[in-house]
Chain A
């Protein structure tokens, strides 16, 4: 089998997605053997993107000219581009206030020095380049990352289920926090794959994996409102990882 050449890069992010890879302690040696890792600043002294690369795996949102430059360089030298994690796929935590002015946000943090910052609203990768595959999650699940790498060895991508977190939550026999404890659990709207991590330890789903394709956003909103949560609080929670919900969507 020909060894795939991969590049791993991080843009505006917390490095958690790349760390997820480094957290595969069991598998790391095998990965190091089966792939040629061409560019991976977090783990490798190699400063140049030279290409050609089979697969570029990119973490983080795009929010500066230098992010964009790295992204473009990678896109131009790779065959497939994989968005790794919620920031790369949906914008993620840094994009939660994208509806507010970037300038004001910067000003709040950096005062007058803010003007010198070259930055724009954090955007998911697909706003700028074509992505061939995405692994969601903040951080992504080890299992999905490994399944993707395994599929790459065979020149393909894996197929992940498209149901919401609730499905995994119920089959794990968790207590439903939405029904039984009236908590603002986002499970019904969020893409599964984490095996309902949070409800399994008694914490409501905060939605870190972004929207599931088939989400009845409007009905969930009605339910939360009926349970007495103020609308602004619901919106604030829902936008934590994905700022662009369509609150009218029913299917």
Chain B
């Protein structure tokens, strides 16, 4: 309960303070809760919020920026339907509503000392970007950090400038791939062509004591998980972030169950070992 309002049930007013188009259909928003609530917004990478666009409705969106970003937070949204469409018509300083953060997020503290492999497909980069910045903020605690990011085509690569910067860093490895190469250049970035599993097989990264965090569309999981285990990363150490239909975000509406787990409250981040026996989970 904050300021007399219950943020798990009633969206708090938030203001759009920044907006940046990342691709034809995807935009990064920076939001801030209104003054009295500002300092209260802390989260784990992998958690999500329920964002309300008045008279449109509410959608779950991953927190895409580093935690504790000066009283604000970032969301990376793809325009796919009713609510996201209305959101794309909003500009600073329009107001929206926010509930959350919800879900578990990635268990960073359990990863101390390990090599970390992040694999993002498409929009899956949103939560993993948050995770990556959190890892880099505590860089000393982890071993090798590798990000593999695949997009459909060069124009669909999100966060190009940031990636360019990251590629210059010595304390992490970055590999990019696109499904189809087109004329367009990926903005000066070194980029492979082919699906993510191909990339995985083609580059070097540490596989011992490694945890993998994967986020992308269901099709990605289906082809990637066996590969990862082939590299000796056990199901126990593969973390996936799942998407499901969600209406409440807090385990009430019952749309998001995966087996007997709720994606919203038991997840959205699961160890692969949790999901293995569940049909339809992936």
Contact = CB atoms under 8 A, between A and B. Distances in A.
Give the contact-size bracket for chain A: under 10
A156 interface: yes
Contacts, number: 15
B85 A156 contact: yes
Contacts of B55: 150-151, 154, 156
Contact of B57 (A155, A157, A159): A159
Interface string B50-91: 000001110000000000000000000000001001100100
A156 B57 contact: no
A94 to B, nearest CB: 32
B82 A155 contact: no
B57 A154 contact: no
A91 B3 CA distance: 54
Nearest to A151: B55
Contacts of B89: 155
A154 B86 contact: yes
Interface in A130-163: 150-151, 154-157, 159
A42 B92 CA distance: 42
A150 B57 CA distance: 14
15 contacts: A150-B55, A151-B55, A154-B55, A154-B56, A154-B86, A155-B86, A155-B89, A156-B55, A156-B56, A156-B82, A156-B85, A156-B86, A157-B82, A159-B57, A159-B82
B12 to A, nearest CB: 21
Interface string A158-193: 010000000000000000000000000000000000
Contacts of A156: 55-56, 82, 85-86
| Most chain B CB neighbours (cut-off 10 Å) among A150, A154, A155, A157 | A154
Top 5 A-B residue pairs of the complex, sorted by shortest distance between their CB atoms: A156-B86, A154-B55, A159-B82, A155-B89, A156-B56
